Amino acid sequence: MLAAPLVPRRTAGTRTVTRAAYWTRLVPLLAALACVTRLPSFRRPLWNPDEGYLAVQARLLAQGGQLYDTVVDRKPPLVPWLYEAAFTVCGSGSLTPLRVLAVLAQLLTAATVASLARRRWGDGAGRTAGVLYLLVSVGLNPEDAQAVGFEIFILPGTAAALWCADRGRWGAAGAAVAAAFLTKQTGGAVLLPVVWLLHRGGAPRAGALRLAAGCALPVLGAALLTDPARFLFWTVTGSAAYASFTGSELHVLARALANTALLATASAGLLRPVVRALRTARTAAVDLWLWLASAAVAVTVGLHFFGHYYLQLTPPLALVATSAVHVLPPERRLAALRASAGGCALFLAWGLCAPRPELAHAQRLAAVLEQRTAAADRVLVWGMHPETYWLAGRTPATRYLTAGLLTNYSGGRDGSEVGEKYAVAGAWPVFRRELDVHAPALVVDDSRGEPYAPDRVPALRRLLAARYEEAGTVDGAVLYTRVPGD
């Protein structure tokens, strides 16, 4: 009687080789796709005012500025510090190093999403999730999807938080939540699915303590590195007026519907599987639905619905879609991927071809600033395009880089609740003091009829009347030079 052949037992070493082979094949694919989907971002020097704001902040920090004091914004510190570090290493004349970092952030997010899917549903699902994420991630207006802003750097932290929680690594999960929060406040919403996983796993009190410590210690450290009181004000308590949309309801609703429609178009191949998963509730884990729901809350918080807010939806959306798609016949999975690839191609073409008239306007203004001021002069650009300072290589006369902090105006407003009385608390005395100390050699009124124009801001109107005289216009922006002898 012949003995049965020995069947090799799967050892830990075999498993490691298998895992290594899987990632050796997948990571280059995801890297190539990340590069392709971010290709339009390299085509322009700037995509939106957020990039301009961060670039100006980084230059001021590199010159010795202090965050939340001489340099201010309603955001946590990680991205300004990242810009500052990139400028220190590579120079401040280009955002190309930041765009490379954005590609790496996308690759890291895609790989983490793929790892989550592979652990739950197998090798094929991992590949599908990583590819779907990258395809859908560009499905917004290019100025939102291609910019190197806060949201693009939130995504690795939120994905890492779920990855660590899925494996019971609670301290690391808390640190990832903190990293997402310190990138932008809404990144902290990922704590909801993390806490649910902690509860579901029946983790002991030690797990909860590690999660809490992981969340709290990095945030406390960032507060101590800046100033605890100012950190709390600029990241939490000082934004109440900004979060209101009273009087701008229709304006905001139109933006919300438009950006929802854009993302739905990019996700057209995934919507039916997602709806099927929602209806059957058998293929997707509860934590993924909670992640998607928490991301939707993050989009809603602030009541502005800018397109880049929607980027937080894309990792959980890709995973929920994968949970439904991976059980379908191969031809239907390929159909979903083809539809997503087609949508991605359309948005990439938009990004490569769309004109950017506001960038051209800022470049023309910057050229005038360079011509009419010296490199050491301070200038004031009264508008919502801080990139003008960066493009011109000129230092702002004030820590308030846009009129928004001084009037509560933003792109989400249509004119109501805009003015001095809606400014950030205490901003106007500081603004007037800074203009006395660093009197701008040139003032550019770039309001162009918007609700924060000087004729609707008495303090600025009086300042211009007393110290400045009109000296021409550029694309509708009015230039003011100091009165001789002032």
- Which is nearest to 390 in space by CA: 93, 149, 192? 93
With 90 as the cut, is the pLDDT of residue 1 above it? no
pLDDT score of 362: 95
d(CA 295, CA 154): 11
Helix axes 12-37, 96-121, angle to 10 degrees: 140
Region 456-464: mean pLDDT is: 94
- Pair 149, 213 in one domain: yes
**pLDDT tens profile 134-186:** 999 999 999 999 999 999 999 999 999 999 999 999 999 999 999 999 999 99
Contact status, residue 255 vs residue 412, Cβ threshold 8 Å: yes
pLDDT score of 371: 96
Domain membership of residue 363 (yes or no) is yes
Indicate the pTM of the whole model. 0.92
d(CA 135, CA 61): 35
pLDDT score of 18: 84
Domain membership of residue 12 (yes or no) is no
Domain membership of residue 198 (yes or no) is yes
Residue 482's beta-bridge partner residues?
468
Region 460-485: mean pLDDT is: 93
Region 254-262: mean pLDDT is: 93
With a pLDDT cut of 70, the percent of the chain lying above it is 91
Domain ends where: 353, 374, 404? 353
pLDDT score of 275: 79
- Pair 324, 436 in one domain: no
Residue 469's beta-bridge partner residues?
481
**pLDDT tens profile 16-51:** 458 889 999 999 999 999 999 999 999 999 999 999
- Pair 240, 384 in one domain: no
Q: Report how many domains make up the chain.
A: 2
Domain membership of residue 4 (yes or no) is no
Q: How many CB atoms neighbour CB 458 within 10 A?
A: 11
Instruction: Name, in order, each residue with C-beta under 8 angstroms of 191's C-beta and a sequence gap of 6 or more.
Output: 161, 177, 215, 294
Domain, as residue range, for 132: 17-353
With 60 as the cut, is the pLDDT of residue 14 above it? no
**Which phi and psi angles does 382 have, rounded to 5°?**
-90, 95
Contact status, residue 326 vs residue 282, Cβ threshold 8 Å: no
With 80 as the cut, is the pLDDT of residue 203 above it? no
Domain membership of residue 11 (yes or no) is no
pLDDT score of 280: 67
Q: Identify the band that residue 357 occupies on the pLDDT scale cut at 50, 70 and 90.
A: confident
- Pair 54, 77 in one domain: yes
With 90 as the cut, is the pLDDT of residue 112 above it? yes
**pLDDT tens profile 287-319:** 999 999 999 999 998 788 999 999 999 999 999
- Pair 349, 361 in one domain: no
Domain membership of residue 136 (yes or no) is yes
Domain membership of residue 176 (yes or no) is yes
d(CA 97, CA 89): 9
- Which is nearest to 123 in space by CA: 340, 333, 326, 325? 326
- Pair 442, 467 in one domain: yes
- Pair 113, 245 in one domain: yes
- Pair 210, 339 in one domain: yes
**pLDDT tens profile 398-455:** 999 999 999 988 766 666 788 898 899 999 999 999 999 999 999 999 999 899 999 9
Domain ends where: 353, 371, 400? 353
- Pair 340, 443 in one domain: no
Domain membership of residue 379 (yes or no) is yes
Domain ends where: 299, 319, 353? 353
Contact status, residue 277 vs residue 323, Cβ threshold 8 Å: yes
Kindly report the average pLDDT of the chain as a whole number: 90
Q: Identify the band that residue 105 occupies on the pLDDT scale cut at 50, 70 and 90.
A: very high
Name which residue leads in pLDDT, 132 or 246.
Answer: 132
pLDDT score of 334: 87
- Pair 259, 344 in one domain: yes
**pLDDT tens profile 35-93:** 999 999 999 999 999 999 999 999 999 999 999 999 999 999 999 999 999 999 999 99
- Pair 127, 228 in one domain: yes
- Pair 274, 255 in one domain: yes
Tokens of 202: 């029946």
